[in-house]
Amino acid sequence: MKVLVTGASGFLGRAVAAEIVAAGHEVRTFQRRPSGVRGALDALGSLTSRADLLYAVNGMDAIVHLAAKVSLAGDPAEFEAVNVGGTRDLLAAATDAGVSRFVYVSSPSVAHAGDSIMGTGALPADPARARGDYARTKARAELLALAADSDPLRVVAVRPHLVWGPGDTQLIGRIVHRARSGRLPLLGHGAALIDTTYVDNAATAIRSALDSVDEVHGRSYVITNGEPRPVAELLAGICAAAGVAAPAWRVPAAIARGAGTLIEAAWRVRPGADEPPMTHFLAEQLSTAHWFDQRDTRAELRWMPAVTLDEGFARLAAFYRAR
């Protein structure tokens, strides 16, 4: 099968493209810079260019769409153009090119409205209640993708939750950097149960979704390790693997949320060079439970995670030791 993987220069996208290559498929990647995936052919371009999209999808049988603008802050128009407009145009290009399978890689944040999520499956994407421009536009894009599901183009949405592993510069890199500089607090008591996903497991789950599209199209699935842990334990495990001190100070969750709202407002007026140190959404994520029922995901995608969290922490520690 000829498979186009978008966003393969990113941490998860690179792992997904490599997994699909290893499964014996012919892989073309599409993103703005080389993917570095051995065995894949890069097609460089932008989601906002229809000409680039038409070139990328030509001759493909299937698409795994990971490319997106992912950030805690930024110009709302950019989120709209890349996450919504790019997905809409990619779906149209896929239809015109006769692509038959489409895996849309979404996020559990599309159904997160600020309250705890405990033991549910994939709740409906809800742009009106999703928190922040990233989540809102990903929710709209997921709805667009599922609305395009048909006999010619079968679509499934998957939502990997908090993907991490060696080499991750987003979640792991930011946690370690803030811990090393003494700027990583626990919000509340750090007892909220949170699901995460080791990167190899996320990649095999997405490949399984690609293999299973004919049976599961039209549906959404949350992907996790299925091992919820208290946020304090997760942060401590990451910090221990990297050889830095775990968080030793606490901030009441309500204060963190209020501070996040103020920082977001200030960032819109005068953006910093990096992402804001706290946002309302981030404070909610670190102080509320979000863990998911994985029975449907595992049964219907015919998938099981192979790497436990403890094994993942061991691999992360080996990565930092090698550095």
Is it the case that residue 131 has pLDDT exceeding 60?
yes
Please give the backbone phi and psi of residue 31, each rounded to the nearest 5 degrees, phi first: -170, 180
What residues pair up with 155 in beta bridges, in sequence order? 102
Grade residue 228 by pLDDT with cuts at 50, 70 and 90: very high
Is it the case that residue 73 has pLDDT exceeding 70?
no
Does the active-site annotation cover 134?
yes
Is it the case that residue 281 has pLDDT exceeding 60?
no
Q: Tell me, what's the pLDDT at 246?
A: 84
Q: Tell me, what's the pLDDT at 175?
A: 85
Q: Tell me, what's the pLDDT at 275?
A: 62
Does 239 reside within a domain?
no
CB neighbour list of residue 209: distance below 8 Å, 6 or more residues apart: 103, 156, 158, 216, 221, 301, 303
Q: Supply 238's token pair.
A: 């990451």
Residue range 245-257: mean pLDDT, rounded: 69
Q: Tell me, what's the pLDDT at 280?
A: 52
Higher model confidence: residue 277 or residue 236? 236
Residue range 256-285: mean pLDDT, rounded: 59
CB neighbour list of residue 49: distance below 8 Å, 6 or more residues apart: none
Does 181 reside within a domain?
no
Q: Supply 46's token pair.
A: 């932008």
Helices (H), the chain: 11-22, 50-57, 76-79, 86-97, 132-147, 171-180, 199-211, 213-216, 231-242, 253-269, 280-287, 295-301, 309-322
Residue range 195-215: mean pLDDT, rounded: 97
Higher model confidence: residue 2 or residue 114? 2
Is it the case that residue 130 has pLDDT exceeding 70?
yes
Is it the case that residue 187 has pLDDT exceeding 90?
no
Does 264 reside within a domain?
no
Helices (H) and strands (E) in the chain, counts: 13, 15
Grade residue 137 by pLDDT with cuts at 50, 70 and 90: very high
Does 46 reside within a domain?
yes
Is it the case that residue 164 has pLDDT exceeding 70?
yes
Residue range 246-273: mean pLDDT, rounded: 63
Q: Which of 104, 134, 198, 221 is catalytic?
A: 134
Does 303 reside within a domain?
yes
- Strands 41-44 and 220-223: what pairing? unpaired
Among 9-13, 14-18, 179-183, 283-287, the least confident range: 283-287
Does 89 reside within a domain?
yes
Q: Tell me, what's the pLDDT at 287?
A: 63
What residues pair up with 42 in beta bridges, in sequence order? 29
Could you list the residue range(s) of the whole structural domain that residue 32 is in? Answer: 2-162+196-224+291-307
Cα–Cα distances (Å) from 267 to 73, 97, 105, 133, 281, in that order, read 8, 42, 28, 14, 14
Is it the case that residue 39 has pLDDT exceeding 90?
yes
Does 235 reside within a domain?
no
Grade residue 300 by pLDDT with cuts at 50, 70 and 90: very high
- Domain of 24, CATH number, reads 3.40.50.720
How far is it, in rounded angstroms, from Cα 186 to Cα 169?
20
Number of domains comprising the chain: 1
**The Cα angle at residue 224 between residues 222 and 226, in degrees rounded to 5:** 120
Does 96 reside within a domain?
yes
Is it the case that residue 257 has pLDDT exceeding 70?
no
